[in-house]
Amino acid sequence: MAKDVIIALDMDSADRVVRFLDAFTLAKPFVKIGMELYYAEGPDIVRRIKDRGHRIFLDLKLHDIPNTVRKAMKVLSALDVDMTNVHAAGTRAMMEAALEGLERTGGHTDLIAVTQLTSTDEARMRKELLIDASMEETVLHYALNARDAGLAGVVCSPLESLRIHEACGEGFMTVTPGIRFADSAKGDQVRVMTPARARENASDYIVVGRPITEAEDPVAAYERCVREFLA
């Protein structure tokens, strides 16, 4: 399976995104469009970035009743993104419905499921979400549900990536946020890892936001991330 670095475009305007991407004259990075940008600019921003030649992970984390998610995915399928996601906590039925809505002729989008957010630690999961299993057990269970529902992979911490591959197979994709350089601040992430360690732990894709987008030289930060992850 191909590996790559995905830049999280956690920005609130198309103008800011265009200025950011204009700096990349020698590469067309894989990018993530999340809620902030999508809700600010709507589907047109997806089309604009796609027209520039970038692969796109549309990160909207759908989580609703199966019928609603099926219909929403049918709408999103027209954007022809490379990857999109739902919350695994929505149940296998919801994930199966999402896949039904997304499947279409003439294109392909990888559907993946969020296990537990990398801003959540085990203590908070147990106390606030009332999940008695350990973080690893919970994430692995959600990953197995996603695999059985027919999804292409999961979003997880790089801490769990290797275990998920062991349980779900090498072809089951792990997309891992919570990536920080050794000399970067953690911010609001609690389960974090460097690009090099994520590679060693079998992450297929790493999602990197602020260490690149807020760097003094974002292109150099991106190139450093690629070197550390793909070396």
Q: CATH number of the domain that 118 lies in?
A: 3.20.20.70
3, 28, 32, 61: the active-site residue: 61
The b-or-e profile of 117-156 (16+ CB within 10 A means b, else e) is bbebebeebeeeeebeeebeebbbebbbbbbebebbbbbb
Q: How many domains does the chain have?
A: 1
Instruction: Please write down the long-range contacts of 26-31, taking CB distance under 8 Å and 24 or more positions apart.
Output: 27/222, 28/52, 28/53, 28/54, 28/55, 29/5, 29/54, 29/222, 30/4, 30/5, 30/6, 30/54, 30/55, 30/56, 30/57, 30/82, 30/205, 31/6, 31/7, 31/55, 31/56, 31/57
Q: pLDDT tens, 77-109?
A: 999 999 999 999 999 999 999 999 998 656 789
Strands 4-8 and 110-114: what pairing?
unpaired
Q: pLDDT tens, 32-80?
A: 999 999 999 999 999 999 999 999 999 999 999 999 999 999 999 999 9
Q: pLDDT tens, 198-219?
A: 999 999 999 999 999 999 999 9
**Which pair of structure tokens corresponds to residue 24?**
């990349």
Task: Residue 171: name the closest of 150, 145, 198 by CA.
Answer: 150
CA 187 vs. chain centroid, Å, equals 18
Query: Is pLDDT of 114 > 70?
Result: yes
% of the chain with per-residue pLDDT over 70: 95
Domain with 177, as residue range(s), is 4-230
Q: Is 61 a catalytic residue?
A: yes
Q: What is the pTM of this model?
A: 0.93
